[in-house]
Structures are given as structure tokens and as C-alpha cells.
Structure 1
Amino acid sequence: MFRRKNSSSNNDESVEQQHERKINELRASIGPLSGRNLHYCTDACLRRYLEARNWNVEKSKKMLEETLRWRSSFKPEEIRWNEVAVEGETGKVFRANFHDRHGRTVLILRPGLQNTTSIDNQIRHLVYLIENAILNLPEGQEQMAWLIDFSGWSLSTNVPIKSARDTSHILQNHYPERLAVAFLYSPPRIFEAFWKVVKYFLDTKTFHKVKFVYPKNKDSMELMRSYFDIDNLPTEFGGKATLQYDHEEFSMRMTQDDVKAAKLWGFDKNQSNGCSGAEVAPDPECLAPPVSG
């Protein structure tokens, strides 16, 4: 009798109430937070990890803790534009000056404009721009959109498989539910062989967010236009706008955003005392455990 009553009371919970309970369970399971972790692990953050693991608290906790360790060593919130600016000289990855129809930040990727050989620096550059895209999300929006232009792409400019694997791992494991959609615009036939390998690095959720768009395919172009205002969308993606990347102007925007990021993470107050606040275990002086992605 008791069991029936208890089960019926669980059924009486709305989906939102169930989710709220799971968020509280996850928060309790990760224990007390301080420093950057406290700032980072908002309810919205915990919700993303739970969504990524189908609301399984134990799996979400494992995922979150792995991210905290990664952020503790990689320190993505400490990367500054001047450290990665050389990677951006050709405009191979940059934040667009428009949003999609849902108000999401848009990153434009042009792999054909690859200009460096250090995979580590390339990944730092991309992580910096993911953090920057998040920094520039409007109130109430959690996700970004990617537009990938394959103009000039060839096997010689191709991202090595290891780099593609590392990038997909970081995106889906340390930035869960941050990507809403990625449009691969007019990829060449030769890309299909590369894609057959890369898709095995993607989990099911991420895989379904990747959309192939071909200019001569009416349905795929309609899908594109359902996400973007045609007047904002660059001609390279089937729109009417002119895409111009000005490295000097973009660098000024990023430098201004670095000031914004420093304020957000408290670096403007704390950096001088040497307390980074991103350790995996609480430091007796800094009292700052790990940060979540």
C-alpha cells in the first residue's frame, strides 16, 4: 500500500518538478563548492549535464567531475586573445556579428583557411572562442550555433583525425548541451570519407545536431532559413549578407571581451594574489575547488 502511494506521489510531480529534484540531487552529490566552481555550477549548468546524460544523476556527476578536472588543468577561462590571436589571422574561426532566430551566438568555421600546424594551439583557439560565444549569449539562452564553410577545403588543409577527435571530445563532454546545431555547408565529396571516421567520435545527441546543407537541395536550404534570417546570413551560406573578417577589428572586440571575462570570473580582483581558484581539491589558502564546463 505504501509503495503504491509513494509511486503515485512521484507520478503527481510535473516534469519540471522532477527535473528540479534531480538538479538538487546532483548539487548535493558534488558537495560544497567555492571559488570558480561555485560561480560556474549554476542550476542551468547542472541542468545541461543532466540533459546530456538523460537525467541520470550518477552519470551526470561523473561527467561533471571529469569536466572539473579538465578545466582545472586546461584553464579555459584564463585564455586571453593575445595568446591565440595568431590562430585567428585568417578568420578560420570567429564569432559572427549576428545571432540565429533563437538569439543564439553563432560561430563561423572555415577549415579551408587553416594557417598553423600546432594542434594544441588550434584547440586552445577554438576553446577560447567557445568560451567567448558563451560569454556573449543573451539572457535566457544557453546554446550556440556553428556555421561551417568548406570553401577552399582539401585534404591538405584537413584537420588531422586526432584533432577532430580531441575537439569533439571537448565539445560534447565539457560543453554539454552548448551546441544547438552545426551546419556543414556544401562539403566536397572527398569530405565524406573524413566524416565516416569523425562521426564515430560523436555521441548520438551531438551527431543529430550536425546538418549537411547543399545549395541545390531545397529542403536543406529551407532548414537553414528556418534557423537564420536570410538578410543576416552571409552569401557563403546561401544568404544575402557580405561576410568580411577584419582581424584588427575582431581583435579589438575580443580584447574588450577579455575585460568582461576577467570581471565575470573575478580575475580583476583576485589575480594579483596568485589565487587561481581552479584546483581539483580545495586549497587551504585559496579554498577553490574545480570548475565545470
Structure 2
Amino acid sequence: MSYLFRTRSEKATQQKPESSEEQQRKIEDVRELLGDLATETPSFLSDGTIRRFLRARNWSTEKAAKSLKEAIKWRRQFKPETICWDDLAGIENEVRRAYIPDYLDKNGRTVFVIVTSIKSLTSTKEHIQQLVYNLENMAMNSEDAQENVVWMCNFSGWTLSSTPLWEVRESLHIIQNYYPGLIGAAILSNPPKIFESFFKIVKQFLEPTLQDKIKFVYNNNAESQRIMADMFDMDKLESAFGGRNTAILDITKYAERMRRRDQIRITCKNTNRNT
């Protein structure tokens, strides 16, 4: 398997970035297409969110509006904005399995780490809730930035039972439909040979634009390590990904950080609601 996986044409169909004035006009066009929804859900339908959906839908106002309507319908049912740190089950084990580290990549993007060898001890419903909680936090950091997340998966020790296919499919559905344009790069680190067959199935659920962002990297591969060094400060990057950081995640400090982020999200929500 190549460390860098490419599919379709190299983003040949993507349009060139438009001027800020043209972008703003499209944002207003989407608001008009959304009608009353634009005023009913102001905390979600910020300019940054609409811009992110527009970019993910190749600046088509009709497609962006349709996607936003579907996202709003889902949000009414799931209520992701209400999920807080203290609502999550199995915190310690789940955080060691999936967390947002306190460093960024060299382009200032948020990093999200998943350690697939750590088996989830929660139910599927709780697992999805944890994913959505993290997506909400990462989306908060992406209001004015496109593709602002680097998704890092450590596949050392991965087995077929580590990642149920139907759970992967549900997770990808949420990411691609309700948080489109969030992921800028996906790093799949040290996948075993058996993962190739699994990935052939998974990529059927991936949109072409997301497929093009996937990179396979290996700690014993010089070119892979060059890629990682170009993207990250190796002193901060975890050793599992070839970096020099051997520190163990401090759950107590992490909980404090996430509770602070919850307060920021609640404040932003209430501010948008009252404006």
C-alpha cells in the first residue's frame, strides 16, 4: 500500500477561490434559500458555518442550502450543541482512545488523535455521542477556516474487531454530511497489511474530496517521516506517529481544558441567540 493514497483526479473539478465580496454574496443567497431557518438557528448558521458548507459543496448555493437543511434537521434530533464533557460516558478510556491534543500542526490546524488499538468500552450510542462532541469542538475552531482539522489515526495493533464497519459508516455519514469541509488531512499511521482489505470497503463510503486527503504513513519509512516533519513540530508530535513526545495524556488536565471549551461554546451560543 502506498503511504499516500490518491483517488480520482487531483481536485481538478474544484473551483478557484472567489473574492471575499463574492463569497459574502453567496452566503446571503444561502440565507435567503434557508428562509426562516436562518433566524431560527443563528448559533449554528454563522457566516463561517455557511462558508464551510459552501466550500464543501463547490460553492453551489443550492447544494449548500440543501446540506444545511439536512444538518439542521439532524441537529434538532441529536442536539449536539448541548453535549458537554460531563455528559460523556467512560471518560478516561474513551479519551485515551480519541482526543484533541493541545498542539496544532504547522499550518495552525486542530489535531484529532484516534488510537484504534484501544477498544471502546461504551455503547455505540455513547461512542457516536463522543465523536459528535469532539466534532462540535473542532467545528468551533473552524468558523473562519476551511479544512481546519488534521485527523490522526494510529493503527498499530489494529484488528478487524477494533473498528466495526457499520460504526465507521455511521461516523463517516455524520462527518461528511453534518460537518463537511472540516477535515483538511487524514493521517493513517502504521496500518497492518490486513487493513488494506478493510479500507477497500471503507473507501466506498468516502466522498472523493475526502479520499484525496488521506495519507498512509509508516514510522519506518523515510518519506513518511519527511511528510510528518513537514506537517508537525516533532517535539510535540506523539511518538506513536514518529514524533519525540513520549508524555502520557493527563486526563485531569484534559478534562479541565474541555470544560473550559464547553463554557466558551455555551457563551458563543447564547451570544448568537441574543443578537
TM-score scaled by length of structure 2: 0.85
- The answer (yes or no) to whether the contact 1:199–1:207 under 8 Å persists in 2 is yes
Determine the structure 2 residue equivalent to 1:15. 18
> Retained in 2: the 8 A contact 1:105–1:134?
no
Aligned residue number for residue 10 of structure 1:
none
Bigger CA radius of gyration: 1
Match of 2:52?
Answer: 48
For residue 169 of structure 1, the aligned residue among 168, 173, 178 is 173
Structure 1 residue ranges without an equivalent (≥5): 1-13, 268-276, 278-286, 288-293
- 2:260 alignment partner in structure 1: 256
Query: Which of 108, 117, 128 is the equivalent residue of 1:123?
Result: 128
Aligned residues: 254
| TM superposition shift of 1:208 | 1.0
- Alignment of structure 1 residues 150-169 onto 2, 5 Å: 150-156=155-161, 158-169=162-173
1-structure distance, mates of 2:74, 2:254:
28
Q: 2:219 corresponds to which residue?
A: 215
105, 115, 118: which one aligns with 1:100? 105
Q: How does 1:232-247 map to 2 (within 5 A)?
A: 232-247=236-251
Shift of the alpha carbon at 1:114?
1.8
Q: Deviations over 1:103-142 (max 9, x none)?
A: 111111101112325111101101111212333x388544
Deviations 1:166-197 (A, max 9, x none): 10011111111111111011111111111111
Aligned to 2:209: 205
1:230-277, Cα deviation, whole Å (9 max, x unpaired): 12111111111124122232222222222222222129xxxxxxxxx8
- Return the alpha-carbon distance in structure 2 between the equivalents of residues 25 and 262 of structure 1: 28
Q: SS in structure 2 opposite 1:266?
A: helix
- The 8 Å contact of residues 89 and 247 in structure 1, kept in 2 or not, is answered as no
Aligned AA for 1:181?
Answer: A
Instruction: Output the CA distance in 1 between the equivalents of 2:172 and 2:202.
Output: 9
CA contact (8 A) 1:150 1:185 kept: yes
Partner residue, 2:269: 265
After superposition, residues 65-104 of structure 1 pair within 5 angstroms as: 65-90=69-94, 91-104=96-109
Alignment of 1:172-183 (within 5 A): 172-183=176-187
1:87 deviation in Å? 4.6
Q: Distance in 1 between matches of 2:92 and 2:187?
A: 21
Aligned alpha-carbon RMSD (Å): 2.3
Moved more, 85-94 or 118-127: 85-94
* Residue of structure 2 equivalent to 1:3: none
1:144 corresponds in structure 2 to 149
Q: CA deviation at 1:85?
A: 4.2
Q: Does the 8 Å CA contact 2:112/2:150 hold for their aligned counterparts?
A: yes
The 3-state SS of whatever aligns with 1:101 is: coil
Secondary structure of 1:240's match? Answer: coil
* Identity within the alignment, %: 35
Instruction: Give 5+ residue unaligned stretches, structure 2.
Output: 1-16
Q: Deviations over 1:150-179 (max 9, x none)?
A: 1332223x2211110010011111111111
Match of residue 11 from structure 2: none
In the TM superposition, residue 77 of structure 1 has moved relative to its aligned partner by 0.9
Secondary structure (helix, strand or coil) at the match of 1:184 reads strand
How far is 1:46 from its partner? 1.4
Contact 1:168/1:201 (<8 A) preserved: yes
Matches of 1:152 and 1:246 in 2, distance apart? 22
Task: Give the stretch that moved more between structures: 216-225 or 55-64.
Answer: 216-225
Judged with a 3 Å threshold, the aligned counterparts in structure 2 of structure 1 residues 199 and 120 are, in CA distance, closer, same or farther, namely same
Between the aligned partners of 2:143 and 2:24, the Cα distance in structure 1 is: 20
SS in structure 2 at match of 1:231: coil
